[in-house]
Structure 1
Amino acid sequence: MTTARKKIIERLDQAMAAAEKMDPGDLLCSYKGVWYPVTHCSAETFKALESFEARSDDVLLVGYPKSGEYIVFFASSKNSRIKKLSSRRVFATHVFPPMLPTSIFKNNVKILVLIRNPKDTAVSYFHFSNSMPSLPSFKTWDEFFNAFLNGKVSWGSYFDHIIECNKHFDDGNIMFITYEELKENPNLGVKKIAEFFGFSLTDEESQTVADRSSFQTMKENSHKTHGAFGNILFRKGSVSDWKNPFTEAQNQEMDKKFEASLAGTKLGAKIKYGVYCKA
């Protein structure tokens, strides 16, 4: 295990341990109308974001929570440490897109945005929230569904997140890929991502990457890669799991929300709502 990986695991373990001792009402902090977990974010963190200087060869992974990406916050108060990192630096974030440092766009940093259909995202996020000590838990699925639909959850509204990302759909330095297409054809997804970042892979190499990054493989290795957090991060990783908890009334509510927020947008079309979110 690399030193960097050990530090990540230590930080996650410390955050969870600290959260377990906190009052539930103190787990979140608000910044510009969006709620964030205090064990991962703070006013100091967002201040550091403002002065963060991106490099043109940086790599940024962006996604709403439980869209399929790792949960690693983009910047920390230890900005000096980040500056010392050698290139190519890789960052991942759930932060609301308008909060990204302006230097990201000024320096044309390549950004990979991972998106997942809202119904599966909601179900996965519900289980994650109730397992993660640093996030508020919900007594029932119904309670969480209402909070999710109205953006009253950590890291804000799923729909607002996608709406903001959609504004950059045609930017040449940004690639959008869905969790569902990666599940359907992992090899092709790896090839697309590699091409975007300027790498050339043989069929054998892309298949090896796809195999190693499959949900099952990552879940089996989660304790080595994420420590105790791995047991929380990796649950099912399936598509259409939403059909289990959603009521017909909730289906209709989510359908109306999607129609009002994202129907007619390019990212809305890419999500293939009619394929993955209809019974």
Structure 2
Amino acid sequence: MSEEKELSYKESIVKARDHMLRFPLVPVKGVPLMNLIANVFDSISAFRPDPSDILVATYPKAGTTWTQEILDLLLHNGNAEACKRAPTPVRSPFLEIVPPPPIPSGLELLEKTDPPRIIKTHLPVQLVPAGFWEEKCKVIYCARNAKDNLVSYYFFDLMNQTQPEPGPFDGYIHKFMQGKLAWGSWYDHVKDYWAAREKKNILFIFYEDMKENPRREVERIMRYLNMSLSDEVINRIVDLTSFKNMKENPMSNYSCVPMPVFDETISPFMRKVTSFIGCDQDGQGHGHGRSSLKDLTVKSSKVLVLITALHEMGLHRPEERVRTIEFQEKHQETNTMITSW
């Protein structure tokens, strides 16, 4: 009797989609995670990486796929064809994800992937498996302006039929502020990785810096990995990881996740936001997002501004020590406001 043909990643999602639903959140050490993740979290915590593995850590919708694609191209010397060998979630497995069978979990994909592996996680720093620190793996954290991150996450939760129902935007803002979304508080996520960056040798990068000068940030990542590539290769990587090229690339645009799991009639997976009120590349805003933000209470508006200031004031240029002091002062002020929220 012949063995059953192994399903492709897309085929496995198609086969499982009748079992896909908006999975509830369960707290894991105080952090809300999807129940399927929570059920096997001991196995996730016990994961042992290879010292050559690279961990890409972000809060959801903060430049994860962009960073993954840059890394894959760096490791393959800018070879675009090598990076088309499989879609992003197969080339760079999502450590903690546990979808319904027969979709492989992140741990199952990692078992089939030879080191050095690019591993994705949204786990806050305190939940990252200890093996990454013990093996001294390279860890790259990408942070994004809170307001843009909020809007991007909202539209992702609308279109992703496995995430909890986001509800009206007004209420979503409050859940974001209170850390009640999947993977918890944006504020704690960014703050805690920032605090650990020197002790754990984490490269801390910013989505906004990548937009402003992608070549500079590609070179920073390259140096962190102790690599040296020609200007021609670096320029090619910058071009291949532009928004336009990634959106058109079926290996990076998540077209491997079919309807109705990712309902791109609601919002595309790769959705270019030019400001926190949700304007797309063509400059057209989303009316309900704009009006909801206008109708925010003064208090929640202040908290959003203060959280965003962590990037604009304290985090934006980590090499400037004065910024660190400003960050610490702003963190205290923001923390006080959030605690009293």
TM-score, length basis structure 1: 0.79
Question: Out of 230, 236, 250, which is 2:272 matched to?
Answer: 236
Question: Superposition pairs for residues 125-204 of structure 1, below 5 Å?
Answer: 125-171=153-199, 173-204=201-232
- Distance in 2, matches of 1:110 and 1:266, equals 26
Q: Does 1:212 align with 2:209?
A: no
**Whose radius of gyration is greater, 1 or 2?**
2
- Displaced runs of 4 or more, over 6 A: none
CA contact (8 A) 1:113 1:176 kept: yes
**Structure 1 counterpart of 2:270, which letter?**
F
- Distance in 2, matches of 1:193 and 1:235, equals 24
Question: Out of 48, 51, 54, which is 1:56 matched to?
Answer: 51
CA contact (8 A) 2:51 2:135 kept: yes
The alpha-carbon distance between structure 1 residues 74 and 156, as it changes in their structure 2 partners (threshold 3 A), is same
State the Cα RMSD in Å: 3.4
**Structure 2 counterpart of 1:50, which letter?**
S
CA contact (8 A) 1:223 1:230 kept: no
Secondary structure at 1:127's aligned position in 2?
helix
Q: Does 1:18 align with 2:13?
A: no
**Structure 1 counterpart of 2:19, which letter?**
A
The alpha-carbon distance between structure 1 residues 17 and 167, as it changes in their structure 2 partners (threshold 3 A), is farther
- Distance in 2, matches of 1:260 and 1:55, equals 35
- Distance in 1, matches of 2:210 and 2:307, equals 27
- Distance in 2, matches of 1:223 and 1:84, equals 19
Question: Superposition pairs for residues 71-110 of structure 1, below 5 Å?
Answer: 73-75=94-96, 79=107, 82-83=110-111, 85-110=113-138
Q: Does 1:43 align with 2:39?
A: yes
Q: Does 1:32 align with 2:7?
A: no
The alpha-carbon distance between structure 1 residues 236 and 168, as it changes in their structure 2 partners (threshold 3 A), is same
CA contact (8 A) 2:161 2:263 kept: no
**Structure 2 counterpart of 1:190, which letter?**
V
Identity %: 25
Secondary structure at 2:33's aligned position in 1?
strand
Residues 33-70 of structure 1 deviation map (CA, whole Å, 9 limit, x = unaligned): 2222345x2421x1112221122111000000010113
CA shift for structure 1 position 192: 1.1
CA shift for structure 1 position 7: 4.7
**Matched positions, count:** 263
- Distance in 1, matches of 2:316 and 2:213, equals 19
Question: Out of 248, 256, 265, which is 2:303 matched to?
Answer: 256
- Distance in 2, matches of 1:38 and 1:11, equals 20
CA contact (8 A) 2:148 2:273 kept: no
Deviates more, 1:134-143 or 1:81-90: 81-90
* Structure 1 counterpart of 2:141: 113
The alpha-carbon distance between structure 1 residues 34 and 10, as it changes in their structure 2 partners (threshold 3 A), is farther
Unaligned 5+ residue runs, structure 1?
A: 1-5, 274-279
CA shift for structure 1 position 255: 3.7
* Structure 2 counterpart of 1:276: none
Deviates more, 1:30-39 or 1:68-77: 68-77
CA shift for structure 1 position 268: 3.6
CA contact (8 A) 1:16 1:133 kept: no
The alpha-carbon distance between structure 1 residues 49 and 196, as it changes in their structure 2 partners (threshold 3 A), is same
- Distance in 2, matches of 1:270 and 1:97, equals 21
Secondary structure at 1:167's aligned position in 2?
helix
CA contact (8 A) 2:142 2:206 kept: yes
TM-score, length basis structure 2: 0.66
CA shift for structure 1 position 265: 11
- Distance in 1, matches of 2:58 and 2:187, equals 12
Deviates more, 1:207-216 or 1:66-75: 66-75
Secondary structure at 1:253's aligned position in 2?
helix
CA shift for structure 1 position 174: 1.2
CA contact (8 A) 1:215 1:237 kept: no
Secondary structure at 2:238's aligned position in 1?
helix
Deviates more, 1:242-251 or 1:216-225: 242-251
CA contact (8 A) 1:163 1:261 kept: no
CA contact (8 A) 1:166 1:266 kept: no
